[in-house]
């Protein structure tokens, strides 16, 4: 080993911050980190440094350190560790193809890891997709996460993780109004971990309200602790009294519909020029701003996506599976003026990725 690495190791092994970082990473990642490169101090230093970069969101800075680690692997366990952390770093960077490649190597290896849930392969990507109401995308990646348990029987270390991922899928189906699928995944979640789960009871109470089963819904409310009940009860009440716009069709004022169409017609040429001259984002924003003002009951910025082909413009407007918004979009788009003959407005649940 050259003098540089000898100096680096001596510094690291005697540095309190280095030891503190290793302790923190062991607490966070368990044996995945602690058992990696047990006989190679140089590799331990590079791995620790890479995780410091990742924890400080310097994902690009972690790449060369992870690349060095690939050359230092001497067994399958170390290779799986490097692929896991490289996949995690790619996930943080949004490089989904590279993420999938490295996670795939971990999944097909003979190494079995106990993943911390927040850093479980694909979990972060699924969570962000769920946050952004990209439901099909979220389910896709939650199912990719579950592939790590294909052909295995989850043990005491992994059953709560499996149960949570299945529960997350159930919440998406609830959001999408696919109540039978929601029920199925809630039961499956309970099968893997039957212990009291306030999150699961919370969702089941909302599900029962959406199904019109008031007595069951309120009985489940009584099983919630104060925090969950205070958050759940107003939603249950709103659903049962047909006042929740997501789960119910709540009548809205349509007085601003003509203002929306007047704006589009008045600025039709300008919008078409933006869309056809590589300024589609600006055109989308103008339409999105006006949609948001028209559907003010949503109290959020509404997304749309514009596609142009052969003089035909199609505006896909995301309704987020909100029943009232989907209903109002249908009513709005039925009144499209004749001046917009080459324009189509389409309500979609989400923008498709797969």
The pLDDT value recorded for residue 10 is: 55
Burial 60-83 (b: 16+ CB within 10 A, else e): eebbebbebbeeebeeebbbbbbb
Residues 168, 20: Cα–Cα separation, whole Å: 34
Residues 225, 214: Cα–Cα separation, whole Å: 19
Q: C-alpha distances in angstroms, 233 versus 13, 65, 186? A: 54, 50, 20
Residues 49, 70: Cα–Cα separation, whole Å: 14
Q: Nearest-CA neighbor of 342 among 315, 311, 308?
A: 311
Residues 122, 103: Cα–Cα separation, whole Å: 8
Q: Which two tokens stand for residue 44?
A: 């331990």
The pLDDT value recorded for residue 7 is: 45
317: DSSP letter? E
Q: Which two tokens stand for residue 151?
A: 């052909």
Query: In 120-210, where does DSSP find H-type helix?
Result: 123-131, 135-146, 159-175, 179-192, 198-210
Q: C-alpha distances in angstroms, 166 versus 147, 177, 200? A: 12, 17, 11
Per-residue pLDDT of the chain (354 residues; tens, 9 = 90+): 444 445 455 545 556 688 888 899 999 999 999 999 999 988 999 999 999 999 999 999 999 999 999 999 999 999 999 999 999 999 999 999 999 999 999 999 999 999 999 999 999 999 999 998 889 999 999 999 999 998 887 788 899 899 999 999 999 999 999 999 999 999 999 988 888 889 999 999 999 999 999 999 999 999 999 999 999 999 999 999 999 999 999 999 999 999 999 999 999 999 999 998 878 899 999 999 999 999 999 999 999 999 998 889 999 999 999 999 999 999 999 999 999 999 999 999 987 643
Residues 255, 193: Cα–Cα separation, whole Å: 50
* Residue pointed to by tokens 């044996």: 31
| Cα separation of the two ends of the chain | 49
315: DSSP letter? E
322: DSSP letter? -
Residues 348, 321: Cα–Cα separation, whole Å: 8
The pLDDT value recorded for residue 9 is: 54
Bridge partners of 242? none
The pLDDT value recorded for residue 290 is: 96
The pLDDT value recorded for residue 13 is: 55
The pLDDT value recorded for residue 254 is: 96
């Amino acid at each position: 080993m050259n003098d540089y690495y000898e100096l680096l190791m001596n510094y690291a092994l005697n540095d309190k911050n280095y030891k503190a970082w290793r302790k923190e990473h062991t607490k966070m990642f368990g044996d995945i980190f602690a058992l990696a490169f047990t006989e190679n101090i140089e590799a331990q230093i590079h791995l620790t440094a890479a995780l410091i970069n990742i924890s400080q969101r310097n994902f690009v800075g972690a790449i060369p350190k992870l690349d060095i680690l690939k050359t230092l692997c001497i067994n399958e366990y170390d290779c799986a560790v490097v692929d896991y952390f490289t996949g995690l770093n790619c996930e943080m960077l949004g490089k989904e193809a590279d993420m999938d490649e490295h996670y795939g190597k971990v999944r097909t290896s003979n190494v079995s890891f106990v993943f911390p849930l927040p850093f479980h392969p694909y979990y972060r990507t699924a969570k962000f997709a769920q946050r952004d109401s990209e439901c099909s995308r979220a389910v896709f990646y939650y199912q990719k996460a579950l592939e790590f348990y294909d052909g295995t029987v989850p043990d005491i270390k992994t059953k709560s993780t499996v149960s949570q991922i299945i529960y997350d899928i159930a919440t998406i189906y609830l959001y999408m109004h696919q109540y039978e699928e929601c029920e199925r995944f809630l039961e499956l979640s309970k099968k893997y971990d039957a212990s009291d789960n306030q999150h699961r009871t919370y969702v089941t109470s909302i599900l029962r309200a959406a199904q019109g089963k008031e007595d069951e819904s309120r009985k489940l409310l009584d099983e919630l602790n104060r925090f969950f009940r205070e958050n759940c009860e107003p939603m249950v009440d709103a659903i049962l009294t047909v006042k929740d716009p997501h789960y119910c069709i709540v009548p809205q004022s349509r007085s601003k519909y003509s203002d929306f169409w007047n704006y589009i017609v008045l600025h039709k040429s300008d919008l078409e020029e933006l869309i056809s001259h590589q300024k589609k984002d600006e055109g989308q924003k103008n339409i999105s701003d006006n949609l948001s003002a028209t559907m003010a009951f949503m109290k959020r910025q509404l997304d749309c996506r514009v596609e142009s082909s052969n003089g035909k413009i199609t505006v896909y407007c995301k309704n987020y599976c909100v029943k009232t918004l989907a209903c109002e979009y249908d009513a709005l788009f039925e009144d499209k003026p004749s001046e917009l003959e080459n324009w189509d407005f389409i309500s979609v649940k989400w923008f498709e990725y797969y």
